Amino acid sequence: MAVEYLESIDDPRLAPYRKLAAVVRPEVTPRFVVEGRFLVERLLESPLETESIVTDAARAVALAERAGAGIDLLVLPPAAINQLVGFAFHRGMLACGRRPTLPQVGELIPALGRPALLVLCENVVDPANLGGILRNCAAFGADAVLLGAGCADPYSRRVLRVSMGAALTMQIGITEHLPAVLQPLANLHQVEPVAAVVDADAEPLGAVERIHRVALVIGNEGTGLSREAVAACRRKVTIPIQAAVDSLNVAVASGLFLYHLSQFR
């Protein structure tokens, strides 16, 4: 690892870290940034490529012992780090990774004959909600996650932070039109799509018995699943709650669904 003590934040290698509070669309750059010791370590341990790490002198020695060759360790004073990222930064270190090449839908699905637990998200726009869903997927052993167009960027700083870095090791795919993949999942791959809904005529989650290969389909925070997505699913499942409450937070609901469905594996 090359350790360099920088005197200026104008070094071109610092470009991915500039003004991190600004929203950057994933197609603009092939890079992403993680914050804090825990996520930096997760990135270093993951199969993804780490390009550089930014930290202060107090943490540089320990990091130099952990990171491999080919990673730039860029050392700045704390005040310069604050200036670089555009806000008061207290997490001590950041790292820049390269986005992986995302797999095709068929590559996400376990082979026929094996159990399968997939999670499909349609228009989950809030990064905190998507981060919570990804963390639940990791906790309950989901095989893969498929995100429809309109979902938050799984490699955004907030999604990575809330998910505790789950996106760094999880199989994640993206599709432009999620409802279109649901019938092929069932017909070609024998994976049963289950729509997570709040409908009164849906099956209560506690009554759902063993499903060997299942895809949990989760919708938008405010509007739920599109009619097209629900129509393409073979069953609808709901979590019964008190009448005075209209719905659960989507990340919380995903945890309850995944706990139940993961018991079938």
pLDDT tens for 45-98 read 999 999 999 999 888 877 877 767 789 999 999 899 988 988 878 778 999 999
Closest CA to 113 of 212, 33, 200: 212
Q: What gap in Å lies between CA 193 and CA 187, rounded to an integer?
A: 11
Q: Please state, for a pLDDT cut of 70, what percent of the chain lies above it.
A: 96
Run of H or E including 11: none
| Residues in Cβ contact with 225 at an 8 Å cutoff, skipping those fewer than 6 apart | 122, 195, 196, 197, 217, 218, 219
Q: What gap in Å lies between CA 89 and CA 232, rounded to an integer?
A: 46
Q: What gap in Å lies between CA 234 and CA 239, rounded to an integer?
A: 17
Residue 27 has pLDDT above 60, yes or no: no
Run of H or E including 78: helix 78-85
Strands 93-98 and 31-35: antiparallel
The reported pLDDT for the residue numbered 28 is: 53
Domains of the chain (ranges, CATH numbers): 2-98 (3.30.1330.30), 105-262 (3.40.1280.10)
With left for phi above 0 and alpha for psi between -120 and 50, is residue 95 left, alpha or beta?
Answer: beta
The reported pLDDT for the residue numbered 216 is: 98
CB 81, CB 89: distance < 8 Å:
yes
The reported pLDDT for the residue numbered 4 is: 86
The reported pLDDT for the residue numbered 208 is: 94
Residue 166 has pLDDT above 70, yes or no: yes
Q: Please state, for a pLDDT cut of 90, what percent of the chain lies above it.
A: 77
Mean pLDDT of 217-235: 95
- Read off the pLDDT of residues 105-133 as tens digits, 9 standing for 90 and up: 999 999 999 999 999 999 999 999 999 99
